[in-house]
């Protein structure tokens, strides 16, 4: 399994996901600006992967501040603010930066900056290592939802190893359920406009010989109507306190279709994807990306010049469409406001330990 993020000898290697599957190429990030640009361009993408990359970006930035003798503390604040601006929807980005800043804040301003940088590096490595562990737990809990051997599942976008530090969330569950003989096939929405399903998810599954059928996004309803899938599994970019889920554009349509066809719709996400500060999905900022992503296909313009284009990168699925949310603490069932309040308390208890 290829790793999306590698930290080695003080350099952050990011697998360039915009080139996959045609080319396997890593971007060597030696400064925080390269990391910020990679997040913006989706060279590294997927909520947990963005969070981990930003954490290492902050380490690179802090290190630069020592070597260039710039003012260390205001510099850290500025770099953190710049990294926060790279993408607005996945809350893992903000969660990781906040976690890094809280480590820095344990030191007073007279501390040797080299000590602070070492602590930041430890924290970024902890964020990455924990993501692996968390995804393993999510996968094991999620696989328990599948009891029979005849499931075909549908997924949207890429919530796999590429979108995380390892294993994946929704795709981690699929991998685990496959290994336990509970899933026989995975239908993958191609996920327009940037084809994370076709380029990344289909590729990850094929590499592990998990039977995969690629469909275009507009085929999902027909596949469901014909009884070809028995469950839907997706990841998430931000989950509100009431269980509304932001994920890749098109997820909402799949959820509505699943409900209409009586098919369970599962979301798999770590606690770092929950935004305990917002009451509902109405408060989730939705990224709008460049019109070129929609007007062109494979680098070739397909839409007429000068036409108006709307390109939201995410949508919000209201909680009533979601059968269960799989986390590292277990499976949450409706009513989500209560389940998520318990999760928030659990998380606080764990942080205190």
Ligand X SMILES: CSC[C@@H](O)[C@@H](O)C(=O)COP(=O)(O)O
Residues that bind ligand X (CB under 6 A): 42, 45-48, 90, 157, 159, 163-164, 169, 196, 235-237, 247-248, 313
Alpha carbon distances (Å) from 131 to 26, 51, 271, 314: 20, 10, 10, 22
End-to-end CA distance of the chain: 33
The annotation places the binding site for substrate at 45-47, 87, 196, 247-248
Beta carbon of residue 168, minimum distance to ligand X (angstroms, whole number): 6
CB contact set of 212 (below 8 Å; sequence gap of 6+): 185, 186, 187, 188, 201, 202, 205, 206
Distance CA 157, CA 33 (A): 27
Which structure tokens are listed for 287?
Answer: 């990224």
- The smaller minimum CB distance to ligand X, of residues 139 and 230, is found at 139
Active site residue 237: yes
- The smaller minimum CB distance to ligand X, of residues 66 and 214, is found at 214
Beta carbon of residue 248, minimum distance to ligand X (angstroms, whole number): 3
Alpha carbon distances (Å) from 313 to 4, 129, 247, 267: 21, 28, 9, 18
The annotation places the binding site at 45-47, 87, 196, 247-248
Catalytic pick from 189, 237, 244, 275? 237
Beta carbon of residue 116, minimum distance to ligand X (angstroms, whole number): 30
Beta carbon of residue 13, minimum distance to ligand X (angstroms, whole number): 19
- Main-chain phi, psi angles of 28, to 5 degrees: -90, 115
- The smaller minimum CB distance to ligand X, of residues 236 and 257, is found at 236
CB contact set of 258 (below 8 Å; sequence gap of 6+): 224, 232, 264, 265, 321
- The smaller minimum CB distance to ligand X, of residues 113 and 273, is found at 273
* Residues belonging to the active site: 237
């Amino acid at each position: 399994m290829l790793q999306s993020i590698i930290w080695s000898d003080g350099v952050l290697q990011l697998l360039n996901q915009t080139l996959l599957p045609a080319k396997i190429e890593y971007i060597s990030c030696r400064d925080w600006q390269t990391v910020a640009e990679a997040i913006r361009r989706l060279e590294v993408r997927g909520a947990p992967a963005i969070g981990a990359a930003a954490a290492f970006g902050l380490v690179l930035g802090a290190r630069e501040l020592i070597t260039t003798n710039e003012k260390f503390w205001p510099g850290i604040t500025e770099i953190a603010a710049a990294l926060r601006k790279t993408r607005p929807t996945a809350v893992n980005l903000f969660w990781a930066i906040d976690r890094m800043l809280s480590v820095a804040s344990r030191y007073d301003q007279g501390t040797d900056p080299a000590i602070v940088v070492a602590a930041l590096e430890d924290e970024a490595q902890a964020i990455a290592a924990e993501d692996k562990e968390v995804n393993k737990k999510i996968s094991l809990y999620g696989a328990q939802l599948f009891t029979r051997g005849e499931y075909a599942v549908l997924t949207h976008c890429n919530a796999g190893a590429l979108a995380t530090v390892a294993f994946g969330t929704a795709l981690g569950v699929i991998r685990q359920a496959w290994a336990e003989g509970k899933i026989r096939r995975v239908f993958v929405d191609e996920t327009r406009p940037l084809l994370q399903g076709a380029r990344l998810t289909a590729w990850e599954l094929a590499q592990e010989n998990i039977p995969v059928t690629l469909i275009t996004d507009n085929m999902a309803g027909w596949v469901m109507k014909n009884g070809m899938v028995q469950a839907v599994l997706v990841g998430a970019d931000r989950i509100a306190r009431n269980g509304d889920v932001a994920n890749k554009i098109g997820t909402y349509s799949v959820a509505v279709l699943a409900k209409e066809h009586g098919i369970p719709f599962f979301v798999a996400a770590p606690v770092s994807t929950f935004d305990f500060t917002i009451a509902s999905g109405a408060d989730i900022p939705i990224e709008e990306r460049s019109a070129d992503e929609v007007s062109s296909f494979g680098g070739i313009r397909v839409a007429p010049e000068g036409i108006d284009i709307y390109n939201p990168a995410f949508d919000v699925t209201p909680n009533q469409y979601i059968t269960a949310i799989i986390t590292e603490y277990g499976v949450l069932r409706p009513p989500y406001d209560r389940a998520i309040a318990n999760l928030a308390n659990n998380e606080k208890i764990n942080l205190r330990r």
